[in-house]
Amino acid sequence: MTNSELEKKVADIIEEKLENKDMFTSYDITMKLREQEKEYVDSHSAVRDAVNSLYHNDVFSGYCISRSLMSLEKDGEGFQAFVYYMDGTTDPYYYPLAKKEIVGIDDITDTV
């Protein structure tokens, strides 16, 4: 898959998330892409870079999205990820696609 093809597929997934006012990380986008594209073999870092590129180039500026670098935990391991969300989001929970449990935004340490 070329970079432009990847960015287009990532943009389509992000637009769907924004239309639903869903919060997401680039890993959520990777998981959704893998679900849609069974033969997809690119790494998560390629998707992460595409999400960052789209964000920094204001591709979704009409949606007024923001992101916050959050400290998250999965399987006892801590890591940081940008959580993207629409400005004015009132839902206090982030529902990651890759996890079964709910991570409450109020329970996450915002490191920005």
User: What is the C-alpha to C-alpha distance for residues 15 and 103, in angstroms, rounded to an integer?
Assistant: 23
Q: Give the structural domain span for 53.
A: 3-110
Write the DSSP symbol of residue 15.
Answer: H
How far is residue 76 CA from its own chain's centroid?
21
Q: 110 near 70, Cβ under 8 Å?
A: yes
Q: How many domains does the chain contain in total?
A: 1
Q: How confident is the model at residue 41 (pLDDT cuts 50, 70, 90)?
A: low
CATH code for the domain of 30: 1.10.10
The residues near 48 (Cβ < 8 Å, ≥ 6 apart) are: 26, 27, 30
Q: Flag the least confident range among 18-27, 60-69, 84-93.
A: 84-93
Q: Does the pLDDT at position 71 exceed 50?
A: yes
| Share of residues in the chain with pLDDT > 90 (%) | 24
pLDDT of residue 89: 67
Q: What is the mean pLDDT of the chain?
A: 77
User: What is the C-alpha to C-alpha distance for residues 39 and 100, in angstroms, rounded to an integer?
Assistant: 25
